Amino acid sequence: MMEIDYDEVVSSLRSAGCVFAEEEADILVESATNRAELIELLGRRISGEPLEYVVGWVLFCGRRIAVAPGVFVPRRRTEFLVECVAALRPSVLLDLCCGSGAIGLSVGGVTELHAADIDVAAVECARRNLDAVGGTVHLGDLYDALPSELRGRFDAVVVNAPYVPTGEIGLMPREARIHEPHVALDGGTDGAGLHRRVSARAMEWLAPGGHLLIETSAQLVDSTLQAVRDAGFTARICESEVLDAVVVVGSRPSR
Ligand SMILES: C[S@@+](CC[C@H](N)C(=O)[O-])C[C@H]1O[C@@H](n2cnc3c(N)ncnc32)[C@H](O)[C@@H]1O
């Protein structure tokens, strides 16, 4: 066991403004293999780097998902999106705007998993997470990333795209604003720009009876719902008070 003053780690974290100082100290101590490494990790955390980047993982749906600097850190609220898509039992699934790939990885019972993102760092990270389950990760702008043979094959397309209105990024917590890439946050002027683009082309990639699921916010839900309906889907809203999460589910008619 390395020699460390655990209380010193906790008090350094607390002085730096970490609300869950004890929990973070436990994670840092577990992650470091020696005292020098612990000091390095602690220094990074104290300087404001998100804990998840410092240790290289985040707990999501009960498992550790690899994350790396420059890749969006999956949020707890997105576990509700996983719950919604899992309830539909898709066999062939597309996780669009996948980031680390956390959503696709967390849906059980999938026989063919595809994920796509426009950002190289996200795609590399998603490959690290999805290789083990045989998932395929594509690089590119929305559906342009996908080979055309996949058209009409997905039972579900699950999407947590950026949905923060451009003018509100500056109001986000420092860790997100400074450390997460804007391409992962910026949803355009009203926040729903990507929701409209994703919805407009979803029908051609879904199998008959397939579903489009988009995480949104209470503020944006009407715009997201409209985008999904405008694309020809019947749509409904699912909400979780506990996770403060809102999901729009669009359904393609069976025939
Ligand atoms: C809010 S993050 C969510 C990541 C992941 N779905 C999650 O919940 O952890 C949005 C992701 O969308 C990606 N993205 C933004 N614009 C995109 C586009 N036009 N095509 C594909 N991916 C895009 C970003 O690179 C980022 O990884």
Q: How confident is the model at residue 3, as a pLDDT?
A: 60
Q: How confident is the model at residue 5, as a pLDDT?
A: 85
As a whole number, mean pLDDT of residues 52-56 equals: 97
pLDDT above 90 coverage of the chain, percent: 95
Q: How confident is the model at residue 106, as a pLDDT?
A: 98
Which helix (H) or strand (E) element contains residue 92?
strand 92-96
Q: How confident is the model at residue 26, as a pLDDT?
A: 96
pLDDT digits (tens, 9 = 90+) for 11-24: 999 999 999 999 99
Q: Would you list the DSSP string of 49-83?
A: --HHHHHTEEEETTEEEE--TTSPPPPGGGHHHHH
Instruction: Check whether 245 has a pLDDT greater than 50.
Output: yes
pLDDT above 70 coverage of the chain, percent: 98
Q: How confident is the model at residue 1, as a pLDDT?
A: 45
Q: Counting atoms of ligand 1 from 1, which one is nearest the CA of 60? A: 9
- The pair phi, psi for residue 128, each rounded to 5°, is -60, -40
- How far apart are the CA of 19 and the centre of ligand 1, in A? 28
Instruction: Check whether 97 has a pLDDT greater than 50.
Output: yes
- Mean pLDDT over each residue of the chain, to the nearest integer: 96
Q: How confident is the model at residue 253, as a pLDDT?
A: 87
As a whole number, mean pLDDT of residues 133-150 equals: 98
Q: Is 245 in the pocket of ligand 1 (CB under 6 A)?
A: no
As a whole number, mean pLDDT of residues 77-104 equals: 98
Q: Counting atoms of ligand 1 from 1, which one is nearest the CA of 74? A: 9
For residue 110, what are its two tokens?
């999938």
* Long-range own/partner contacts, residues 235-242 (CB < 8 A, 24 or more apart): 238/80, 238/84, 240/77, 240/80, 240/83
- How far apart are the CA of 129 and the centre of ligand 1, in A? 16
- How far apart are the CA of 160 and the centre of ligand 1, in A? 7
Q: Is 118 in the pocket of ligand 1 (CB under 6 A)?
A: yes
Q: Is 129 in the pocket of ligand 1 (CB under 6 A)?
A: no
pLDDT digits (tens, 9 = 90+) for 199-219: 999 999 999 999 999 999 999
Instruction: Check whether 229 has a pLDDT greater than 70.
Output: yes
pLDDT digits (tens, 9 = 90+) for 172-192: 998 899 999 999 999 999 999
